[in-house]
Chain A
Amino acid sequence: MSTVILLVLAAGGLAWSFFKDKKKTGQILKGAFNSFAKTGIEILGILSLVGLLLAWVPESTIRQLLGSGSQLLSGIFGAALGSVIIIPAFVAFPLAASLYSRGAYLLTIAAFITTLTMVGIATMPIEIRHFGKKFTFYRNLMSFMMALIIAAGMVIFL
């Protein structure tokens, strides 16, 4: 749904731009293509490596790691694991939900699904390219700690 919105926005914007100034639109397309090619190669590499990692580490290992140990420790572990891997929501939610229903701590699950989207160790090279090392480091560190706080808050409220 929001993918469609994005596509419509981009296509509409391009059409408008083309109508206003053909030459400028050509430059815009060239610029967009250049940055796509540049970032695309990097993302392709990163996603391939993550795909490989997920294929090597079976789901059962992730289950084991998240479903055991003390509450605090597995909470931190959940946050850490969520930071390192990228998995699409339609894989992550069923996995996390099934762990939760089998007795994994709320803290662990909440931390895991929050860092999964907000913290991206794997995508750091791309973030650094756009914003530099310092910004990237601080944003991810803050997100990691906030994820733990959010998870702790959920334990208190639920």
Chain B
Amino acid sequence: MNVARSIKEKRILVLAIVAYIVTAIINLNVAKAALVITGGFLREMLSILPAVFVLSALIGAWVSKETIMRYFGKDSGVRGHIASVVMGSISAGPIYAAFPLAQSLLQKGASLANTIIIISSWAVIKAPMLFVEAKFFGFKFTLTRYLLTLPAILIMGLLGEKFLDRKEVLAAGEQVEIKLVDLLPGANCKACGYSSCKDYADAIEKEDAALDKCIVGGDEVKKKLNKFLHSAEN
């Protein structure tokens, strides 16, 4: 286990804990109030996030590339955009819950435009939220805002498609290497020449390292890696 990496992953949490301790020393009441607010956030997070990750993993494992490409791919056209808005708006939860799901769709062949549309409509277009908003601002206000937001989301999707490179975005995401490392035995024996299984997985992912270096896993692991890389690339 790489200690520096694990600290890096937890740095925000560490920062938060330090900030809470400092706050509690300065003003205990503020710290208490903050805990109540954070508790509310956590309830929302815990009620949604596990389901989101299970769904993302299910899509990754079961839904074929062809299916995703047909509905959300580059050639899916206006119907793909509509499907993306619907997909985003029926889903629950704050915007950060949209990222894992949208990423697994992108990996399976959804276009960048539709990825952006899914994330944005996940954040803004929400049937239950519409009623809450209308309760406070009236239907005219709410409807106008939604009618203006819808084309804005479409435009953002199309702009993103035009100015961002799909391959680059895919490579920047972290998920692929996590799955790759899962295929390795996890012995961290260093026989491959790398300091851990994860480093070897990183090297395969980023530097095209040879697939036959894992001594422990042997031929079977080599085949698995090969199969995985081929299903991930096309």
**Chain A residues near B (Cβ < 8 Å):** 1-3, 5-7, 9-11, 13-14, 17, 24, 27-36, 38-52, 54-56, 86, 88-90, 93-94, 96-97, 100, 110, 113-114, 117-118, 120, 123, 125-135, 138-139, 142-143, 146, 149-150, 153-154, 157-158
Contact = CB atoms under 8 A, between A and B. Distances in A.
A35 B178 contact: yes
Q: Main SS of the interface on chain B? A: helix
A52 to B, nearest CB: 4
Given A35-B53, A131-B169, A153-B144, 19 more contacts: A2-B126, A11-B51, A13-B54, A13-B55, A35-B100, A35-B175, A40-B49, A42-B9, A52-B34, A55-B30, A89-B132, A93-B137, A96-B136, A130-B100, A130-B103, A134-B168, A135-B169, A142-B156, A146-B149
Contact of A3 (B9, B40, B48, B95): B48
Contacts of B9: 38, 41-42
Residue of B99, B159, B163 contacting most chain A CB atoms (<10 Å): B99
Nearest to B137: A97
A92 to B, nearest CB: 9
A28 B62 CA distance: 10
Interface string B1-42: 000000001111111110110010000001101110110111
A32 B47 contact: no
Interface in B89-147: 90-96, 99-100, 102-103, 106, 115-116, 119-120, 123-124, 126-129, 132-133, 135-137, 140-141, 144-145
B38 A48 contact: yes
For the residues of A in contact with B, the DSSP-based class is helix
Most A-side CB within 10 Å, residue of B13, B35, B51, B115: B51
A76 B211 CA distance: 52
A89 to B, nearest CB: 6
Contacts of B14: 45
Contacts of B10: 41, 45
B104 to A, nearest CB: 9
B187 interface: no
A154 B53 CA distance: 36
A154 B135 CA distance: 18
Contact of B20 (A43, A52, A86, A131): A52
Interface in B51-102: 51-58, 60-62, 90-96, 99-100, 102
B55 A10 contact: yes
A132 B156 contact: no
Nearest to B95: A120
B174 interface: yes
Central interface residue in A34, A134, A139, by most chain B CB within 10 Å:
A139
Interface in B212-228: none
Contacts of B17: 48
B189 interface: no
12 contacts: A2-B128, A30-B182, A31-B60, A43-B96, A47-B42, A49-B15, A55-B23, A94-B136, A113-B145, A146-B152, A153-B148, A158-B140
